[in-house]
A and B are shown apart, each in its own frame.
Chain A
Amino acid sequence: MNAFAKSWASAWLCLGVGIALLLGLPSVLDDFMLIQVTIYLVMSILAVSLGFIWGFGGILCFGQAAFFGLGSYVYAIAVVNLGDSTLPVLLSILIPGLFAALLGYVIFYGRLSDVYMGVITLTVTLILFNLVNSTAGPEWKIGKAPLGGFNGIPAIPSLNLPWDVDETITPRGMFNLSFGVLLAVYLGLRWLIASKVGRVIVAIKENEQRALLLGYDARAYKLFTFTLGGAIAGLAGCLFANWGSFTSPTIFGLAQSAQIIIWVIVGGLGTLLGPVVGCVAIQWLTTQIGTQQTFNSNLVLGAILVVFVLLVPRGVVPSLGDLIDRLRARRRPAAAPEPALTAEERVS
């Protein structure tokens, strides 16, 4: 991470731009576009969850979609049964978080290598996909909620004000909420990364052996990181179920898992803003390609991934951060030579 990205100035800048967009966009965009932007925001929360555990925790999870899908299904099943959305929202965070904790416990406390991490998380996602996909019959229901197999769960009741089922959320309210959650997740994670726990998480990514020799239990920190990432992805899943009042097994699919990784690579690993930028840009591009029917969107996505890996390996946001650092360094008056390269200079 470069100096500007690391500084609180960048966090306040993001917050300022975020609040301006939150207040400004509803008055410029029509309802259709606002709903479109809302799904970008929801998916950005998912992208940030992977950006955090991969970019800062060094945990490459191929199955972030598992927690996202789980959050979505948990919310749908719970709200269909309970009516009031208050508890379902909490469950949609808690259950994916617990599931991530369980999975993470097996991986980290079993001291499985990074390769197994990828294999296990991808396999779990595909197992969930197949499991939910094969629940088409009427006998597959939890309480009043039919699981619906490949058709998914339609007509999911919308969010309501806590303990007040009559006050449901409007599309504009959904936009505000998704934007608010994204900003809160971003700032919360920025705070965490700056704290002692966050610095240890990053240190473990840098050199796990040294962290262990200093007395830090790397397993516990990794488990915490992975669990938090799972819980955030679950929250995104809950918002997704609310966005379209619908969820289906495709959100557990391989394509979904791969997309999240592409968002993070394009936006930039090792920043929290990068995954948001990558997610919004790629989703917007996919939508545009889809409306024009000229190119296959998967083909374009593949080409983008290849271009970024080869030409912009650090992603959009870190590369822009480098540029800002260079400009700031150029503006500064010539100072006495430093004894060694600083964090700021090294990236240029």
Chain B
Amino acid sequence: MSVTPLLETRALNVRFGGVHATRDVNFTLAEAELRCVIGPNGAGKSTFFKLLTGQVKPTSGQILFRGQDISDMQPHQPGRLGIGIKTQVPSLFNGLTVWDNVWLSARRVNSHAQAERITRETLERVGMLTYKDAVTGVLAHGQRQWVELAVVIAADPPLILLDEPAAGMSDAEVARTAELILEINRRHALVVVEHDMSFIRMIARKVTVLHQGQVIKEDTPDRIMSDPLIQQIYLGKKAH
């Protein structure tokens, strides 16, 4: 008996005028899987995330979440179904406190008392509890990354999309982020877009390579990184 994947895209295409940003993307993710997506700038990674979160509608093809077609949903509906996203540039309620940011995420799916508890626990988990009364807009970039991660996990979504979670972080913070992602992966499926290969090695078991809007390879990190074609198109090296 076949198991319904958590996420599946079938022949997904997006065109912006003359630009074919996503080409026939077939992508499957199992429950609680952790997948890294790599690709050079303009490969279509961000568009792919926007498609999964309802910010961009596909020109053709299907997106299935636990078997349900979400291709034509309103922008708030993927979030309701359980797809959380941490964007490349932290997208937060800048005028609100750190606590309110996380509380708003937790409260949508929980009672008031539960939301209070979850907010406290989540902020503690990402090490931001001491900043709970700080206005989010004045925090440093790295701290905003943690807050956004807390916002996403506070809603406890089955699928979490992370767009360059380690960008702008120090080596110690990158290592801590990797640990946290692996910990999150115990309960949640993750799709992680990242450029930092050493970070990918820390977390990934399977990597999908996007190039010019297409999936060109899916394999383990080691095989991906030793593939001459990938080296050529992604790392700019010539295949031998």
Q: Do they bind each other? A: yes
Known contacts A341-B135, A341-B138, A342-B133; decide if A213 and B53 are in contact (CB<8 Å).
Answer: yes
Residues of chain B within 8 A of A211, CB atoms compared: 76, 93, 104
Question: Contact flags (1/0) for A313-348 with B, using CB distance below 8 Å?
Answer: 000000000000000000000000011111100100
Smallest beta-carbon distance B32→chain A, Å? 21
Within 209-228 of A, Cβ neighbours of B (below 8 Å) are at: 209-218
Q: Interface size of B by Cβ–Cβ distance < 8 Å?
A: 37
Chain A interface: which size bin? 20 to 34
A340 touches B93 (CB 8 A): no
Decide yes or no whether A199 CB sits under 8 A from chain B: yes
User: Does any Cβ of A come within 8 Å of B28's Cβ?
Assistant: no
How many angstroms from the CA of A212 to the CA of B55 in the assembled complex? 9
Is A183 positioned at the interface, with any CB of B under 8 Å from its CB? no
Query: A343–B100 Cα gap in the complex (Å)?
Result: 11
**In whole Å, how far is A223's beta carbon from the nearest beta carbon of chain B?**
13
Task: Give A196 to B97 CA distance when docked, in angstroms.
Answer: 15
Q: Which of A200, A207, A339, A342 contacts B94 (CB 8 A)?
A: A207
B 101-144 contacts with A by CB, 8 A:
103-105, 107-109, 112, 130-131, 133-135, 138-139, 143
The 8 Å CB contact of A214, one of B95, B100, B138, B155, is: B155
B143 CB contacts on chain A under 8 angstroms = 340
Which A residues lie within 8 Å of B158 (CB)?
none
Given A215-B79, A340-B131, the answer on whether A203 and B93 have CB atoms closer than 8 Å is yes
**Residues of chain B within 8 A of A31, CB atoms compared:** none
> Is B74 engaged at the interface, CB distance under 8 Å to the other chain?
yes
Chain A residues, CB < 8 A from B108: 214-216
Contact among A196, A199, A213, A346 for B91, CB-based, below 8 A: A213
Within 8 A of B (CB), among A67-103: none
CA distance A75 to B187 in the complex (A): 58
State the main secondary structure of chain A at its contact with B: helix
Q: Does A203 contact B104, Cβ atoms closer than 8 Å?
A: yes
Chain A positions within 8 Å of B105 at CB level: 214
A346 x B76 contact (CB < 8 A): no
Shortest beta-carbon distance, B191 to chain A, in Å?
A: 15
Q: Which residue of B lies closest to A205 (CB)?
A: B95
Bound-state Cα–Cα, A202 to B237, Å: 50
A207 CA to B137 CA in the complex, in Å? 12
Residues in chain A near residue B97, CB distance under 8 A: 342-343
How far is A211 from B79 in the complex, measured between Cα atoms in Å?
9
Given the known inter-chain contacts A203-B93, A210-B93, please indicate yes or no for A215 contacting B138, CB distance below 8 A. Answer: no
23 contacts between A and B (CB under 8 A): A196-B112, A199-B103, A199-B104, A200-B104, A203-B96, A206-B94, A207-B91, A210-B92, A212-B75, A213-B53, A213-B84, A213-B87, A213-B91, A214-B151, A215-B76, A215-B77, A339-B131, A340-B135, A340-B138, A342-B97, A342-B133, A343-B97, A343-B134
Give me the interface of B with A, judged by CB distance under 8 Å.
Answer: 53-55, 74-77, 79-80, 84-85, 87, 91-97, 100, 103-105, 107-109, 112, 130-131, 133-135, 138-139, 143, 151, 155
